[in-house]
Amino acid sequence: MAIVVVTGTGTEVGKTVATAAVAAASLAQGLSVAVLKPAQTGVAEGEPGDAAEVARLAGEVTAVELARYPEPLAPATAAARSGRPPVTPQDIAEAAAKLSAVHDVVLVEGAGGLLVRYDEQGSTLADAAALMHAGVLLVASPALGTLNTTALTAEAMRSRGITCLGLILGRWSGAAGLAERCNLTDLPAVAGVPLLGALPEAAAARPPAEFRARAPQWLAPQLGGVWDAAAFVRAYGLPADRAAGGAAGGPGAAPAGVPDGVPAGGADGVPGVADAAPAGGADGAPAGFAGAPAEAAAPGVPDLPQAPVEQAASAVDAPAAGDPGVSQQPPVAG
Q: Tell me which residue of 330, 304, 243 sits closest to 26, measured CA to CA.
A: 304
Q: How far is the CB of 47 from ligand ATP (least distance, A)?
A: 13
Q: Is 37 a catalytic residue?
A: yes
Q: Does 180 bind ligand ATP (CB under 6 A)?
A: no
CA-based nearest residue to 165, from 328, 16, 50, 297: 297
Summarize as ranges the residues that interact with Mg ion (CB under 5 A). Answer: 15-16, 50
Q: Does 75 bind ligand ATP (CB under 6 A)?
A: no
> Minimal CA–CA distance to 129: which of 155, 106, 108?
108
Can you tell me whether residue 266 is helix, strand or coil? Answer: coil
Does position 198 interact with ligand ATP (CB under 6 A)? The reply is no
Site for ligand ATP in 112-131 (CB under 6 A): 112
Residue 120 annotated as binding site: no
Instruction: Tell me the closest approach of the beta carbon of residue 42 to ligand ATP, in angstroms.
Output: 7
Helices (H), the chain: 15-28, 50-58, 75-82, 89-102, 125-132, 146-159, 178-191, 208-214, 229-236, 294-297, 309-320
How many C-beta atoms lie closer than 10 Å to residue 6's C-beta?
A: 27
Between residues 50 and 104, which has the closer beta carbon with respect to Mg ion?
Answer: 50
Name the minimum Å distance from CB 34 to ligand ATP: 17
Interaction partner, residue 262 (Mg ion, ligand ATP, none; CB < 5-8 Å by kind): none
Q: Is 25 in the site for ligand ATP (CB under 6 A)?
A: no
| CA-based max dimension of the chain | 58
Residue 266, marked binder: no
User: Least distance from C-beta 271 to ligand ATP, angstroms?
Assistant: 26
What count of Cα atoms within 13 Å lies in the side-chain half-sphere of residue 88? Answer: 6
Task: Pick the binder of ligand ATP from 8, 38, 135, 266 (CB under 6 A).
Answer: 8
The reply to whether 17 sits near ligand ATP by the rule CB under 6 A is yes
- Rule CB under 6 A: say whether 266 interacts with ligand ATP: no
Of 152, 149, 230, 219, nearest to 185 by C-alpha is 230
Q: Which of 5, 22, 37, 247 is catalytic?
A: 37
Is residue 87 within 8 Å of 125, Cβ to Cβ? Answer: no
Query: Which of the residues 199 through 238 are near ligand ATP (CB under 6 A)?
Result: 199, 201-205
Q: In sequence order, which residues have a C-beta less than 8 Å from that of residue 150 and are 6 or more positions away?
A: 9, 138, 140, 167, 187, 190, 191
Minimum distance from CB of 270 to Mg ion (Å)? 28
Secondary structure letter of residue 68 according to DSSP: E
Give the one entry of ligand ATP, Mg ion, none that residue 97 binds, where binding means its C-beta sits below a cut-off of 5 to 8 angstroms depending on kind: none
* Catalytic annotation, residues: 37
Per the annotation, binding residues are 12-17, 41, 50, 109-112, 170-171, 201
Interaction site with ligand ATP (CB under 6 A): 8, 11-17, 50, 111-112, 170-171, 199, 201-205
